[in-house]
Chain A
Amino acid sequence: MSEEKVKGPTTTGHVWDDDLQELTNPLPRWWIWGFYITFVFTVVYWLFYPAWPIGSGFTKGVPGLNSITYTATTVDGKEVEKTTHWNMRSKYMVEMNELHAAQKQWFDKVAATPYEDVAKDADLMQFVNSAGKTLFSDNCAPCHQAGGQGKIGFSPNLTDDHWQYGGTYEEISHTIVAGRQGYMPPFKEVLKDEQIGQLANYVLSMSGEPHDAAAATAGAALFQSETAACYYCHGADAKGRTQMGSANLTDKIWLWADIPAEKTAEAKVDAVKKIISGGLARGVMPYWNERLKPEQIKLLTVYVHDGLGGGK
């Protein structure tokens, strides 16, 4: 700023602390014009977008200037074309239409291809793997972990070839659509502590863990007896029933009793005893048919079966 301007006569007129004065130099021209242009902009905005509240409603912009056309799906599945004024939600409809159009060829192909053939089609499988990974991360990974390896005490491993509820495409799909909830009653009221110990030893013996042989023999008899009736749910061969998700007790895979982490034979027996006496009701796999669309569920089914591997 030049010396003359400061000395010039254009001040607000009042003086503070003897000699402090406030200048009233005009604002720069470009700034003033910018200010006026915002006025013009708002008027244009009112013409194009929902703006002024009036009574119980609001102005929706000038018809014709701001119309937007999208395809809607009605409750009974009919597709209808609609035109309305621009707003966030009609714009959203257009965005979703575009997304649908972009993915349609892939989803249509997945829907039309029998499960078995999807895995054989390399291009299609590439789509399943990339879309499936996103869906899995957003919805399943917090329980089944990022790679589907599961977590003892919470959720089963989906990458191995052991399936509590069955590993065919149809069974996996049913698991995802309707959810699963494993239930085993508590036995602490029905059985004596000694009997529970014998059963635990028998259960451990079946998967080759250290155990007391005499107790295990007594446990085997109890397992098949009407008193404990373990066979009723786990099957006489103790391999489990996929209809109810009762665990296969003959393999080395554990979901609830953390046998691999227990170091001593006593601790392993205690871990199994705890399950038998307390029962199990924590195994809740949520249902997804309201959160995910049928085509997404089909895609996830193939992703779990072939992408993560181990499907039957």
Chain B
Amino acid sequence: MNFNHDKIERNLGILLILTMLAISAGGLVEIVPLFFIKETVEKVEGVRPYSALELRGRDIYIREGCYTCHSQMIRPFRDEALRYGHYSLAAESKYDHPFQWGSKRTGPDLARVGGKYSNDWHTQHLTAPRSLVPQSVMPNYPWLATTALDYSDIEKRMMALRTTGVPYSKTNAEYERNVKEFGETVAKSLHIPDAEKNLIAQAQLGNYDTNPDNITEMDALVAYLQMLGTLVDFKKYDDDYFVKFR
């Protein structure tokens, strides 16, 4: 039988299968090894999954499309280090699904924005950026501070991430495992049955939107922004410690 161009091009089924085979060969060679390379994920202390409130904030960040203008990936270049701080580590986004690295920077990188400004500043800036930075092209997000945060499905959101391997705990055994790995305070914040209680407590204590009376979407988003890039204490490592992972 002669199996030639003619046959393939006239037979839709074969064409489809062969096209998929050709494309996935490239994909497999590039992607599969990444699941096995452990040496490139830096061994650092401090990285933990998001608390319930931060997680809701992250979901709002994605919902509002902040990533269309902001990256969260400081590359190992001199000018980036001078402006944004230490370059981002793979380990710092190991619990991010999907990660927010991005490549579009209409606004500045946000990977280490945590602690740089006050809660008050973030609330005002998100509501009306031009009131603080006159030349800004960032849109106003006035509804964040007036919309009550919907956290009725927070447990489901954490369960979904648990399925992808994020160590949120559901059972006591899982909780104990987290106590060993992250310490008690963090382990408590990762416990799914307490999610709602923890979320309310963090929002009230932190008072991120500078209005103590209610829990708004602003509380969640600012809680998220204020922890970005703050988990790893770089003073604990030689400044070339991370070289060996590349």
> In the complex, what residue of chain A is closest to B133 when comparing beta carbons?
A142
Mark interface residues in A69-96 (1 if CB within 8 Å of B CB, else 0).
Answer: 0101111000000101001111111011
Interface stretch among B54-62, B111-119, B176-184? B111-119
Q: Which of A14, A56, A73 contacts B238 (CB 8 A)?
A: A73
Neighbouring A residues of B243 by C-beta, 8 Å = 82, 84, 87, 89-90, 93
Interface stretch (choices B30-38, B63-71, B95-103): B30-38
Q: Are B39 and A142 in contact (CB under 8 A)?
A: no
CB A16 to nearest CB in B, in angstroms, measures 9
Does A151 touch B at the CB level, under 8 Å?
yes
The B1-52 residues at the A interface (CB cut-off 8 A) are: 4-6, 9, 33-34, 36-40
CB proximity of A193 to chain B, nearest CB, Å: 21
* Contacts A75-B236, A99-B78, A151-B132 given; does A143 touch B39 at CB 8 Å: no
Contact B240 A72 (CB under 8 A): yes
A154 at the interface (CB under 8 A from B): yes
B36 and A142 contacting across the interface, CB-CB below 8 Å: no
B38 touching A87 by the CB < 8 A rule?
no
**Complex CA–CA separation, A220 to B78 (angstroms):** 57
B81 within 8 A of A: yes
Q: How far does the Cβ of A178 sit from chain B's closest Cβ, in whole Å?
A: 13
0/1 interface trace, chain A 4-19, chain B, CB 8 Å (1 if under)? 0000000011100000
A12 cross-chain contacts in B, Cβ below 8 A: 5-6
- In the assembled complex, 18 residue pairs joining A and B whose CB atoms fall closer than 8 Å, in A order, are A53-B33, A53-B34, A56-B36, A56-B39, A57-B37, A70-B240, A74-B239, A87-B243, A88-B75, A92-B87, A93-B240, A93-B243, A96-B78, A99-B78, A143-B118, A154-B121, A291-B85, A291-B116
A interface list, Cβ under 8 A from B: 12-14, 50, 53, 55-58, 70, 72-75, 82, 84, 87-93, 95-96, 99, 138-139, 141-143, 151, 154, 282, 284-286, 290-291
